[in-house]
Amino acid sequence: MQSQNFVLKFQKELCETCPTYDCLTRCQYLNIDTKTAEREIRKLLNGEDSFVLHECVTCYACEEYCKRGNHPFYLITDLQEKKGILPAPKPIVKQWVNLGIPDKKDIPHFYGAEEPVISLCLFPDFVDSISGKLFQGVSIVLGRHFFCNLVYLHFGKPSLIRERLPKIIENIASHGFKEVVFFHDECYSTFTSYADAYDIKVPFRPVHLFEYLYNRLKELKDEIKPLNVRIAYQRNCSTRLTPEKEHYLDKIFELLGVERVERKYDRENALCCGGIIRALQKLELFVEVQKKNVEDMKKAKAEYCVFNCPACYSSLAERVRKEGIKPIMLHQLCKLALREEPR
């Protein structure tokens, strides 16, 4: 598969006729009214510079806020790269760019060879937890040969994704998998939302971890012991790209017997974990966002903070633990209800 110049499927008229400009007016990090949003959107549509390109914290939320499916965030990142606007300092961008390059010592890792197969991307620390009744018979693929590369949306380098993605798809497809369960939201969103936006063909069916967990829990329903705890869910940024699968999450929580607490910063109003804001060196905003998020969890009397993203867990787990809230990954919460994890 040769590298190609993939073009964003973007309909300018959908933005020009939008009555609300929710993609910008609903942004929780940029204070933009409707009049300003209209002006800045027109600049972006014309390929002109805008303060949006410089101040965007790359939280992905505008993708979800745009109910017309017109990919405002992908447009923003393409323009950032075209104009050489780096969201993070150059040394940090270079470090992340080099992170995703397989070298001669990099070999694909397989644990089993039969479907269902789960891609763990670059998260080897979770291999041991993909076990027990919940993952019986599951195979695992892991390593930079399967790394989705979507993280470069955060660093103003989206062309790297389109350059590398065909080879990643080829690496996965060459094993004949009909379906691949993606552990991380960014991976799933790469092979669904992002691939579709740039008309990149994916010859296998991407399955979100939520869908897999829900179907497996239904099979194990008689073995589930309700947890009866109050949980706050930390939505990660890339879940914004594919919110249509979110209904599985509430169904999972219902099966587990947990209460997802009502709070200000959840669902479409969710705040970033702060990790990427820190990586972009916006340190004051990082402190503010984490404080608002955790205080919101405390106010709602959450006992657990549930994560689906390993990066979010790394960024926020210690912070919530200090406030008396137990951090836990979603699949480990499921195993807790199956009594395969200690409480």
All structural domains of the chain: 12-82 (no CATH), 90-212 (3.40.50), 221-337 (3.40.50.1860)
What kind and span of H or E run contains 206?
strand 205-208
Other CB atoms within 10 A of residue 3 CB: 12
**pLDDT of 104:** 60
Q: Which of 229, 201, 235, 251 is nearest to 4 (CA)?
A: 201
Extract the tokens encoding 279. Answer: 């990586």
Q: Please tell me the distance from the alpha carbon of residue 336 to that of residue 340, in angstroms, as a whole number.
A: 6
Q: What is the pLDDT of residues 233-256, one digit of tens each?
A: 999 999 999 999 999 999 999 999
Q: Is 98's pLDDT higher than 90?
A: no
pTM: 0.94
Helix axes 158-173, 72-82, angle to 10 degrees: 120
Q: What percent of the chain has pLDDT over 90?
A: 87
**pLDDT of 105:** 65
Give the CA distances from residue 306 to residues 42, 107, 186, 228, in Å, rounded to whole numbers and listed in that order.
Answer: 39, 32, 17, 14
Q: What is the pLDDT of residues 296-335, one digit of tens each?
A: 999 999 999 999 999 999 999 999 999 999 999 999 999 9
**pLDDT of 99:** 83
Q: Is 2's pLDDT higher than 50?
A: no
Q: Which residues contact 342 (CB under 8 A, 6 or more apart)?
A: none
